[in-house]
């Protein structure tokens, strides 16, 4: 049984599979809509090849960037995809891309359009977790709230929050693409704490589904963590296994459980700020 959480002044939420359910089918549909837009703009590109190369370059980026605590970049991925589908050979797995050479195979404007299509397709096609908006609105009456997430395009999270009507409840939206590093690196947690107005680290609760990024990262930053144990079984988003050495303040199966846990807190009463930052 989770003990009551006292002294929580601010709560941060992971995005994918915490506030937004990201299933394999839904994310595939986003990529397919992106492929449709790319092929419509340039019919010489084979759609099936685009989708295959997208998957290969996505895996390459995660393999290369995550160990360095760097976020994958959608525009960089698309530059490489355009280069490959138009005739450039991919480097061996152990050799970095020559990004400048790859960029010669595409126009920056078409890369930007493809990124935009991907972002808007995600916002239109991915569902929020049940009760997410209502939970944010109620918690914001007493605490500062933020989204704190690893995500390759911060604009997508901004747009999603706006589309769902979440922005009035949020003090900040802090995304790895903007910060330049990913959870669990302490830099992104410090950026979020600053965006929240600098509360004591122990007064911040971070909620997320990834053990290493969300639980280990938050605890190592001096925060408290609530681990969301349930995620879509088929989600393609990276995840990690539970390890020894870190104990979350709460373990939950549904983010709506937070309201009951935090409602027990007699020290709650820090007002939220109706602004969005990053």
CATH number at residue 134: 3.40.50.1000
Question: Residue 249 pLDDT > 70, yes or no?
Answer: yes
Token pair 């935009």 is found at 116
Q: What is the mean pLDDT of residues 69-80?
A: 95
Is 136 found in the same domain as 158? yes
Is 114 found in the same domain as 179? no
C-alpha 180/C-alpha 64 separation (Å) is 15
pLDDT at 225: 97
- According to DSSP H, which parts of 131-216 are helical? 132-139, 154-164, 176-179, 186-195
pLDDT at 238: 83
For residue 184, what are its two tokens?
A: 């669990």
Q: Among 125, 155, 178, where does a domain finish? A: 125
Is 149 found in the same domain as 196? yes
Is 228 found in the same domain as 132? yes
pLDDT at 268: 46
Question: What is the number of structural domains in the chain?
Answer: 2
* Cα–Cα nearest to 14, from 149, 180, 137: 149
pLDDT at 101: 98
Is 144 found in the same domain as 250? yes
C-alpha 260/C-alpha 113 separation (Å) is 44
Question: Residue 269 pLDDT > 50, yes or no?
Answer: no
pLDDT at 5: 87
C-alpha 35/C-alpha 29 separation (Å) is 10
Q: What is the mean pLDDT of residues 48-58?
A: 97
Task: Name which residue leads in pLDDT, 270 or 219.
Answer: 219
pLDDT at 3: 63
The predicted-structure confidence for 144-182, as pLDDT tens digits, reads as follows 999 999 999 999 999 999 999 999 999 999 999 999 999
The phi, psi pair for 121, rounded to 5°, reads -65, -35
Q: What is the mean pLDDT of residues 19-32?
A: 96
pLDDT at 273: 37
The answer to whether residue 171 sits within a structural domain is: yes
Is 80 found in the same domain as 59? yes
The answer to whether residue 78 sits within a structural domain is: yes
C-alpha 42/C-alpha 29 separation (Å) is 20
The answer to whether residue 211 sits within a structural domain is: yes
Q: Among 125, 141, 166, where does a domain finish? A: 125
> Helix (H) and strand (E) counts for the chain?
11, 6
* Cα-only R_g, the chain: 20
For residue 173, what are its two tokens?
A: 């939206």
pLDDT at 239: 86
Q: What is the mean pLDDT of residues 199-215?
A: 97
Q: Among 106, 125, 144, where does a domain finish? A: 125
Is 232 found in the same domain as 199? yes
Q: Check: CB of residue 174 under 8 Å from CB of residue 11.
A: no
Is 142 found in the same domain as 15? yes
Is 133 found in the same domain as 238? yes
Task: Count Cβ neighbours within 10 Å for each residue of 81-96 and write b for 16 or more, e otherwise.
Answer: bbbbbeebebeeeeee
The answer to whether residue 91 sits within a structural domain is: yes
Q: Check: CB of residue 23 under 8 Å from CB of residue 232.
A: yes
Q: Check: CB of residue 170 under 8 Å from CB of residue 276.
A: yes
Q: Reduce the DSSP state of residue 146 to 3 states and report it.
A: strand
Which residue range(s) make up the domain with 55?
A: 24-125
Which band of pLDDT confidence, cut at 50, 70 and 90, is reported for residue 195?
very high
Is 236 found in the same domain as 146? yes
Is 38 found in the same domain as 78? yes
C-alpha 215/C-alpha 189 separation (Å) is 12
pLDDT at 264: 58
């Amino acid at each position: 049984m989770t003990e009551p959480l006292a002294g929580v002044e601010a709560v941060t939420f992971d995005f994918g599979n915490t506030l937004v359910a990201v299933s394999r089918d839904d994310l595939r549909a986003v990529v397919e809509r992106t492929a449709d837009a790319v092929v419509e703009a340039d019919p010489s590109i084979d759609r099936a090849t685009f989708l295959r190369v997208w998957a290969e370059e996505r895996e390459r980026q995660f393999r290369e960037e995550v160990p360095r605590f760097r976020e994958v970049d959608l525009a960089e991925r698309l530059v490489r995809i355009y280069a490959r589908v138009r005739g450039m050979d991919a480097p061996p797995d152990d050799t970095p891309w020559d990004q400048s050479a790859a960029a010669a195979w595409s126009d920056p404007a078409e890369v930007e359009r493809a990124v935009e299509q991907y972002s808007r397709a995600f916002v239109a096609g991915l569902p929020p977790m049940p009760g997410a908006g209502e939970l944010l609105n109620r918690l914001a009456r007493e605490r500062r709230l933020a989204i704190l997430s690893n995500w390759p395009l911060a604009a997508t999270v901004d747009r999603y929050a706006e589309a769902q009507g979440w922005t009035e409840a949020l003090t900040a939206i802090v995304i790895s693409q903007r910060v330049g590093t990913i959870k669990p690196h302490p830099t992104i947690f410090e950026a979020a704490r600053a965006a929240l107005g600098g509360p004591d680290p122990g007064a911040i609760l971070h909620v997320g589904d990834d053990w290493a990024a969300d639980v280990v990262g938050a605890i190592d930053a001096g925060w408290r963590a609530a681990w969301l144990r349930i995620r879509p079984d088929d989600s393609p988003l990276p995840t990690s296994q539970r390890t020894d050495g870190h104990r979350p303040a709460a373990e939950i199966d549904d983010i709506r459980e937070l309201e009951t846990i935090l409602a027990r807190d007699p020290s709650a009463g820090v007002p939220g700020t109706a602004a969005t930052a990053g």
